[in-house]
Structure 1
Amino acid sequence: MKYTLSGRWLRGEQSARLLLLLLPVLIISAAFFLLPLARLLVISFEGDQWGANYWQALTEARYLSSLIDTLLLSVSVTLVTLAISVVCGLFLARNEFAGKSLLVSLLTFPLAFPGVVIGFLVIMLGGRQGLSAELGLMLDGTRWTFAYSIAGLFVGYVYFSIPRVLLTVIAAAEKLDYQLEEAARSFGASRYRIFRDVILTGLKPALLASGAICFATSMGAFGTAFALATDINVLPMTIYTEFTLGANIAMAAALSILLGLITWLVLFLARMLSGADASPAA
């Protein structure tokens, strides 16, 4: 009886200590995440009719086109980034050569740049005074520009997304079991089958996780879009315009909630799928 009471008392003391240690985290989460999010949600429902802002965001042409353009851009950036990162990541993980560390450092260099700097680099490449404009003047007398359009934003997003995915792919590729590839090869599997059924299957959890982060980053990135904003209609810029120029705070809040929900849903699904893929192997 004494042992039982003593054990309960110790467990209660440990729970109290754990709660005390978690208290700062709970306070910070409530102050900087839960309360602002709740306030944003309340503002998004302000208007003549309940949920009118969300209905307008999903039906009015300019808001719907902004949402669709952002989704298409994010999906295309994610797919291209994954393709490039898989090829480069497998090569870097399986080959040793002089200057490899320097090459990896250069490939991950964009991590040091904020979005505005990425936008400036895109302008130096595809702007009116950029390299592509100079090349166009030399070849046909016209300036080739793409920086101030969705194409320029695509280039910028791919540029700063590759390092985040590449590092994950390299780490996952180094942990692949080469014996599985040898076994598949001994049974007569083609290179395509080995790549599809062995390599990609082994990389799938890492690709899902890093791809979801790439998608989320592309959905919510603002600095690059702001630097290039001439003919770009992505959701972060639309939210910024509604909030600052139109003073339509309720619509900006509704668009922000929609952006957050879509991003959270993709991250949640990726976490579920990557966990399901990893559990049988474990």
Structure 2
Amino acid sequence: MRDLTLPVHWRVLLLLPALIVFTAFWLIPIGVLVRISAGGNFFDTYSAILTDSRYVNSLWQTVMLSLVVTIATIILSVITGLFLSNNEFPGKRLLVSLLTLPLAFPGVVVGFMVIMLAGRQGLIGAVSQALFGHKLVFAYSMSGLFLGYLYFSIPKIVLSVMAAAQSLDKSLVEAAHSLGAGPWAVMRDVTLPALAPALIAAGAICFATSIGAFGTAFTLATDINVLPMTIYTEFTLNANLVTAAALSVVLGIVTWAILMLARNVAGATMSAGG
């Protein structure tokens, strides 16, 4: 049988473009960022950041907001994705297209849409003024940012749920029904365990996107204390390049840790499921 394995020099040559891109756009910038963040004394710089309540609170609020957005997105997307996967009806393709439309919008546009919905001149404010005599305005708070993140996160998870649901072995569901399992039991014991690896992976991407999102936060920024905005403030208004770089490194480490944890959990879930 003919050996189709490429020679070593050809494998290196084919890998070279990826290595160049990786070095130019990731390795070198990260190295420079870490060097700047040291500020002459690596330990003192990061100790000062991690003991400063303002920075710690900003990191904590960012992580908690991203977790809440991820959980809410997964719940809503599982319900929507399973319904769309298991049902055919007129206009389904149009509905799926509309659900995925937010993927085309940058963060600034999403923030502007939140303002139009829940800002001082927004629809919710006008309705609450007519019904209760006062305007309900929350676009410029963490609630508004939550709404914006939820808006652009749902389409990604819905598409992942639909793809995973379509590859689900239907015979398992039919076997569960034949054994007398009700819809909720099938959902709990068959559907969700089968979807778990895809949900964990999609949830990790949702978390990583939310924790680092800047455009929406920048558009809504009034009473919002999230780490991307803190980094922007330190870099532009305070001209504190060392602190901005160190906070960026911390944000990257937290995001990387969550992604690695999700990958390990998804792998273990897939192995446990057979």
The interval holding the TM-score normalised by the smaller chain is: over 0.9
Q: Percent same amino acid among aligned pairs?
A: 57
Distance 2:125 2:179 in 1: 53
Equivalent residue for 1:210, pick from 202, 216, 220: 202
Q: Which digits, 9 at most, give the CA deviation of each residue in 1:26-51, with x for residues without a partner? A: 1221111101101111111114x432
In the aligned structure 1, how far is the partner of 2:170 from the partner of 2:11?
Answer: 43
2:10 is the counterpart of 1:27: no
**2:37 pairs with 1:44:** yes
What amino acid is the match of 1:45? A
Task: Write the letter of the residue equivalent to 1:74.
Answer: S
Equivalent position to 1:156, from 148, 153, 157: 148
- Match in the other structure for 1:146: 138
**2:193–2:273 contact (8 Å) kept in structure 1:** no
Residue ranges of structure 2 left out of the alignment (5+ in a row): none
Find the counterpart in structure 1 of residue 93 from structure 2.
101
Structure 1 unpaired stretches of 5+: 1-6
Whole-Å Cα distance in 2 between the matches of residues 210 and 235 of structure 1? 22
Q: Offset at 1:280?
A: 5.4
Rounded Cα–Cα distance in structure 1 between residues aligned with 2:192 and 2:262: 16
Q: TM-score scaled to structure 2, two decimals?
A: 0.95
Maintained 8 Å contact 2:111/2:216: yes
Shift of 1:53: 2.3
* Aligned residue identity for 1:249: L
User: Which of these two proteins has the greater Rg computed from alpha carbons?
Assistant: 1
Cα shift readout 1:91-135 (whole Å, capped 9, x = no counterpart) = 000001100000000000000100000000000000001101111
State the alpha-carbon separation in 1 of the partners of residues 147 and 42 from structure 2.
40
Shift of 1:276: 2.6
Residue type at the aligned position of 1:171 = A
Residue of structure 2 in register with 1:14 after alignment: 7
- The answer to whether residue 263 in structure 2 is matched with residue 274 in structure 1 is no
SS of equivalent residue, structure 2 residue 145: helix
Farther-moved stretch of structure 1 (136-145 vs 168-177)? 136-145
Distance in 2 of aligned mates of 1:280 and 1:80: 26
| Alignment counterpart, residue 50 of structure 2, candidates 44, 51, 58 | 58
2: distance between equivalents of 1:50 and 1:229? Answer: 31
SS at match of 1:231: coil
Pairing 1:133–2:125 present: yes
Letter in 1 for 2:156: R
1:197-233 Cα distance to aligned partner (Å, 9 max, x none):
1110010011001000000000000000000000000
Alignment coverage as a number of residue pairs: 272
TM-score by length of 1: 0.92
Aligned partner of 2:212 in structure 1 is: 220
Aligned to 2:223: 231
User: Who is 1:168 aligned against?
Assistant: 160
Distance 2:252 2:187 in 1: 35
1:28-84 superposed Cα distances (whole Å, 9 cap, x missing partner): 21111101101111111114x432222222221110110010011000000000000
Report the Cα offset of residue 281 of structure 1: 5.3
